[in-house]
Amino acid sequence: MCCQCGGAALSSVNPFRLCGGLRVLGYLMLPLVAAIAGAVYYAVVAAVWGPRIVKHGHVSDLALFIVILFHLLLVMVIWCYLRVVFSDPGSVPHDWTPPVEQGVIGQSDVQDPSIDTGIRHCARCQNWKPLRCHHCSVCDRCVLKMDHHCVWVVNCVGARNYKFFLLFLVYTFLETALSALALLPHFISLFSGESRHTDSTMNLSITFIASVLSAAFALSLLCFICMHVSLVLTNTTSIEIYEKKSSALWRYDLGNFKNFEQVFGTKKRLWFFPLYSAEDLENISALQGLEFPIQANAV
Ligand SMILES: [Zn+2]
Ligand SMILES: [Zn+2]
């Protein structure tokens, strides 16, 4: 669903030009996603379940429940989406230099591979790259604890908006799964001939397309969420998957629960919202994206 341009370099194609095209693709996706969302909204709320809330003077609890849940999830999807799009994923402060204990300091060491420390220098930004930081060719800048560049949100996903991105995935999955399940009985009854439909052809077409797209989105999102759950629980970014495979001991792995807190914060009441407490933002260094706690065995 998302493209990763972190370290990819094609020998015969200028990767920077290729990634610039992906930015344009991202802007083209926005009206497409808005059109799909509009069709699903129309199908679930206006065509199928809205008219059933009050029928023949009776209120349907099921129809009311589905319409209210649909709107609550929609609010969460939009809120998380806006937070991913408009949050800075994390950029390297202009005057940042590696801490002495972490690595080399000074321009004379620019060529030093710094293998032991992981500290690198970015030739394009002319700046130091902290641990887990990567240069995004689409945004053309270094991103702290970069996970990937996502064309769907037209932004990079990094240290400061990864939680928002994950919540966006989860709420979008719940919304699309609800839509698919809510529209499915409508079709079964129509195709099995149990009920004679009075829908217009346009209504039927939109409802059918919306249900198929909802089911397809829900299934693909579920796979994507499963992958990210395993990444969160092992404190790994999408870019680091291969690096982790080749290392016997993953130094950022602090245990499942602590790894989870490194992304979602320590305040349980905020786990389900695209927010952090001021305390977490101050105390969890991984959210600032410049330094990361390392497991005791790896020191
Ligand atoms: Zn850079
Ligand atoms: Zn980017």
Three-point CA angle 192, 198, 200, nearest 5°? 110
**pLDDT on residue 83:** 96
Rounded distance from Cα 122 to ligand 1 centre (Å):
5
> Which residue is catalytic, options 80, 139, 142, 150?
150
Q: Which ligand is nearest to the CA of 150?
A: 2
Structure tokens at 116: 């032991």
**pLDDT tens-digit map of 51-72:** 999 988 888 999 999 999 999 9
DSSP string, 16-83: HHHHHHHHHHHHHHHHHHHHHHHHHHIIIIIIIIGGGSEETTEE-HHHHHHHHHHHHHHHHHHHHHHH
On average, the pLDDT of the chain sits at 84
Rounded distance from Cα 153 to ligand 1 centre (Å):
20
| b/e burial code for range 100-124 (CB count within 10 A of at least 16 → b) | eebbbeeeeeeeeebeeebbbbeee
Rounded distance from Cα 26 to ligand 1 centre (Å):
21
Rounded distance from Cα 149 to ligand 2 centre (Å):
4
156 classed as catalytic:
no
Q: Which ligand is nearest to the CA of 149?
A: 2
Rounded distance from Cα 42 to ligand 2 centre (Å):
33
Q: Which ligand is nearest to the CA of 134?
A: 1
Residue 172 above 60 pLDDT?
yes
Q: Which ligand is nearest to the CA of 5?
A: 2
Rounded distance from Cα 125 to ligand 2 centre (Å):
14
The pLDDT-based confidence of 278 (bands split at 50, 70, 90) is: very high
**pLDDT on residue 99:** 74
**pLDDT tens-digit map of 114-166:** 444 567 889 999 888 999 999 999 999 999 999 999 988 889 999 999 999 99
15 against 170, higher pLDDT = 170
